[in-house]
Amino acid sequence: ETLTHVIASVIKDEPDWGALPKSVPPRAVAVLRRCLAKDPRARLHDVADARIDWAQPSIRVDRQIRACTPAPGAWTTFRQARLKLLAATPDPAAEPLPAGSLRVGRRDVWVGTATSPVRLGLIQPQGKKAMAAADWARGVRPGPDDTLT
């Protein structure tokens, strides 16, 4: 094949994901898929693309967090400080919340999305170690007007 054929193939054909070694972690494959997406709007270009858009459906938020963990790391902001999201789970049974709004329980923290809330698992505040979302919430004590952006 000529260089022209190879470049054309990269542009028009989907990579053979089955050719990756079995030792490649699924999360790394998810990041590769986002980086090599044919639709430029779906590509992961830089760390800004790993910022969570809470106006998206909960399943999309969950997938973005999974795809960006551990690197580059999905993130949001709380009180203008970066908050890295390491684990979250869609919770369709939870009471609906506006996108980005927080609800704090004794053991759980939920964030509103376009559909159902997600339950935050492990998070990492800027300059700190990873911790359970409930422990973080006990420390920062989010008020009724606080949101993730």
**In this predicted model, what pLDDT tens digit does every residue of 1-10 receive, in sequence order?**
788 887 887 7
Average pLDDT over residues 12-29: 83
| Pairwise pLDDT comparison (35 vs 97), residue with the higher score | 97
Beta-bridge partners for 111: 102, 118
Cα gap 50→71, rounded to integer Å: 9
48, 84 Cβ separation under 8 angstroms:
no
Q: Report whether pLDDT(46) > 70.
A: no
| CA atoms of 4 and 59, how far apart (whole Å) | 39
The region, left, alpha or beta by phi > 0 then psi within -120 to 50, assigned to residue 37 is: beta
The whole-model pTM stands at: 0.71
* Distance separating the N- and C-terminal Cα atoms of the chain: 48
The answer on pLDDT for 41 being more than 90 is: no
